[in-house]
Structure 1
Amino acid sequence: MAAFAGSPGSWSENILDYFLRNNQISTEDGAEIIWYHAANHKSQMHKALRSVCMCAAHMIEADVLLPSDGSEHGQPIMAHPPETNSDNTLQEWLAEVMKSNKGIKLDFKSLASVRASMLFLDNVRQHLQRPVWMNADILPGPNGSSTVVDAKAFLDTVTSFFPDVTFSLGWTTGWHPEKVNEGYSWSMVKEMDYICSGLTQPVTFPVRAALVRQSCSQLLWLLKKSNRYSLTVWTGKGDSYSTEDLLYIRDYFNKTQVFYDILEPQNHEFKQAIGIQVTL
């Protein structure tokens, strides 16, 4: 099944198409995409933007919050809970990132931060001719305890400003070392497909690496529901999973439909195992 591809330079352009077109990757393989995770504070943002060697990040992921005073009229800042303050605002972050050619992924933890961010994004949309992903956890998932972002309100708010955007829609999850961790259930993937089936934009589903192997049947069913769908495998800092688990995932799915935003040292071991050179 051919992957969905937005028009060149659009926010919905497939990231493989975009980075192939810009000669930054060599093959149509999601594992070639390099991520810089949590580029929130100015030091992290500048490190992500300065990387110009073989390990240069293609996609920069950052988290958007409202200031700790909780005011909806406050300017959005770049921080990941439990942090509630930052030396970087969304406006400052966008001003720097738009000077690069990197794709961006913005992770929202609340509707208030989404609404407050749209005008800042609207002001620079003409300078962001690249893939832009909007992320939120909209459904409860395996061992999930965090509050979900209301799906309809999130989708409606974003599309009212940017109908041509890539959505990253996930489940709240947890992982516990002392017990057997259930994966993504049939009801979870079917509810997600029900929400996404009415969309026209590409959608990637962020899935927790330690929970994917036991959920491959369910997630493959989900991917087969639309050529607009993909997976983004991510990892929690304390999670236990093996390089063999990642290789199993790679063999199970189409390599054009799975991206890997994973931590070191597993990222290096995984790329080494599949023959993709990574310079640390």
Structure 2
Amino acid sequence: PGLKKLHIDQICNGQCSVYSVVLSELAVRLARLTPTMSDQTLDYFLSLMRISRRDAAEVTWAHAVNSRRKLEDTLTGPTHMMEADIIMRGCDPKEPIMAHPPDTDSDITLKEWLEEVKAHDKGIKLDFKSLEAVSPSLAVLEGVLTDLSRPVWINADILSGPGGQARPLEPQAFLSAATILPPRTVLSLGWTTGWTAGTDNPGYDWEMVHGMEEICRTVKNPVTFPVRAALLAQSFPQLRWLLQQSDRYTLTVWTGQNDSYTLQDFLPYKQEIDSSKIYYDLSDC
């Protein structure tokens, strides 16, 4: 309904571009008719009475849970979500391990890590810096973690963002690998970024958010966009627009180690965006 009809003579008279636009619009509409899943993270912690209301700011985070000692401490601690990094071991046996580059080894594999997590009620966020580790890791995840109610987030930077120097993961390759995951799995899809003190750092521009939305509009999973706290003040119109494109979308605010920002930078987001739509991954700052 509402789609413009085209006759064959119109197509033959050089109006192929219009035809392409209509087909593109039809594809988007069909994608939106396919069942999708919204973020269930807050519902999970509410059901356990670990948070008091549907406010994503109540969710707390532990970072770089990449060793046995850190895992043990975190599992018995108060945080809701555990963030960890996955790479392939740099020597034999080649398998997914918990480590962040430039490290190439760890005292715990992904399989061992997940086996420990199973006995607890924490949510997890697994961060990938290379495609090499994605498919083997997701196969392990699917085999070990069978509790479908637990929040599971899968994170990767898939586009270049403001000041970003690192090479992003290829978007379609990452999303294709993620199709084996349950539909409630949250895909945390971000931009590579950079920030330099004492300079005028650009924010997320319209091209960046339009590019991200084009990739994510046909994804059926809930999607959170990790956004850098130091870039929020100059990016409000763009990020507000991005959230408005789907009820599957949320933001997760994070900060770099030496970033500078003020709580006032968050005010437009707190005042104009539903509190269930913005997580604040700032606990180590």
TM-score of Structure 1 vs Structure 2, range by shorter chain:
0.7 to 0.9
Give the partner amino acid of 1:20.
L
Matching of residues 170-249 of structure 1 within 5 Å: 170-249=190-269
Aligned to 1:134: 154
Cα distance in 2 for partners of 1:116, 1:101 equals: 24
| 1:27 aligns with one of 32, 53, 71 | 53
Cα contact 2:250–2:277 (8 A) shared by 1? yes
Secondary structure of the residue aligned to 2:159 is strand
Aligned to 1:58: 80
Aligned to 2:94: 74
Secondary structure of the residue aligned to 2:157 is strand
How far off its partner does 1:244 sit? 2.2
Cα distance in 2 for partners of 1:211, 1:177 equals: 12
**Range moving further from structure 2, 76-85 or 86-95:** 76-85
2:103 aligned with 1:83, yes or no?
yes
Q: Count residues in correspondence.
A: 251
2:107 aligned with 1:107, yes or no?
no
How far off its partner does 1:44 sit? 1.3
Cα distance in 2 for partners of 1:108, 1:183 equals: 23
Cα contact 1:189–1:222 (8 A) shared by 2? yes
Cα distance in 2 for partners of 1:163, 1:14 equals: 11
Unaligned runs of 5+ in 2: 1-34
Cα distance in 2 for partners of 1:243, 1:213 equals: 10
Cα distance in 2 for partners of 1:23, 1:193 equals: 33
Aligned to 2:31: none
Aligned to 1:92: 112
Cα distance in 2 for partners of 1:246, 1:113 equals: 34
Cα contact 2:127–2:155 (8 A) shared by 1? yes
2:75 aligned with 1:49, yes or no?
yes
TM-score norm. by structure 1 comes to: 0.85
Unaligned runs of 5+ in 1: 7-11, 266-280
CA deviation vs aligned residue, 1:148-200 (integer Å, no higher than 9, x gap) = 11110111111135444210000000110131100000000000000000111
CA deviation vs aligned residue, 1:235-265 (integer Å, no higher than 9, x gap) = 1001111222234432242211000001445
Matching of residues 8-19 of structure 1 within 5 Å: 13-19=39-45
**Range moving further from structure 2, 139-148 or 154-163:** 154-163
Give the partner amino acid of 1:241.
Y
Give the partner amino acid of 2:79.
A
- The two structures, once aligned, show a CA RMSD in angstroms of 1.8
How far off its partner does 1:128 sit? 4.9
Give the partner amino acid of 1:206.
P
| 1:155 aligns with one of 158, 175, 190 | 175
TM-score norm. by structure 2 comes to: 0.83
Cα contact 2:39–2:248 (8 A) shared by 1? no
Secondary structure of the residue aligned to 1:126 is coil
Cα contact 1:65–1:78 (8 A) shared by 2? yes
Aligned to 1:259: 279
How far off its partner does 1:13 sit? 4.9
How far off its partner does 1:82 sit? 2.3
How far off its partner does 1:136 sit? 0.5
Secondary structure of the residue aligned to 1:256 is helix
* Bigger-Rg structure (1/2): 2
Cα distance in 2 for partners of 1:248, 1:117 equals: 38
Aligned to 1:269: none
